[in-house]
Structure 1
Amino acid sequence: MLGSRVLLIVGGGIAAFKIPELIRMLRREGIAVVPVLTKGGAEFVTPLTLSALSESPCHSDLFDLTRESEMGHIQLSRAADLVVVAPATADLMAKMAAGLADDLASTLLLATDKPVLAAPAMNVRMWQHPATQRNRDTLEEDGIRFVGPDQGDMACGEYGPGRMAEPEAIRERILAMLGRDRPLRLSPEIAVALPAEPPVPAIGPLTGRHVLVTSGPTHEPIDPVRYIANRSSGAQGTAIAAALRDLGARVSFVTGPAEIPPPAGVEVIRVQTAREMREAVEAALPADAAVMAAAVADWRVANAQDHKIKKDGIGSAPVLEFSENPDILAWIGRLREGRPRLVVGFAAETDDVLAHASAKLQRKRADWIVANDVSPATGIMGGTENAVTLITADGAEAWPRMPKDEVARKLAARIAEALGQPPQEPQP
Structure 2
Amino acid sequence: MLQHLITHGEDLRMVPTDHDQLTIAVQNLRDELQALPEGTDAARARVLARWTGIGLLSLGDYHDARVYLRRTLDLATSSGNTQAVIATELNLADAYRYAGEPENADVLYRSALDGARGRHPELVDFVLQHIGKHLMEQGNLIPARAHLREALRLRTAKGDAGLIESTKAAVDRVELLMSRASAGTPASADGGTGTARWSRRWTSWLQSRTTARTSAGWEEGFPALRDAVHDLTTHERVRPRHLRGQSFPAELLAGMAEEAEKALAADGYLHNGKWNAAVGEAANRFAGQADLAAVVTRSTGLEVDQPHTGVYIAYLEEGQFLDFHVDEFGFGEANLILCLKHERLTAIPTVSCTVFIDADGYRECDLAPGDCVVFDGALTPHGRTPLGAGESVVLVSFGFRARDQASRTPPTSPALRMASKPQKQTPP
Higher relative contact order (CA 8 A, sep 6+): 2
Q: TM-score, normalised by structure 1?
A: 0.29
- What TM-score comes out, normalization by structure 2 length? 0.29
Structure (1 or 2) with the greater helix fraction: 2
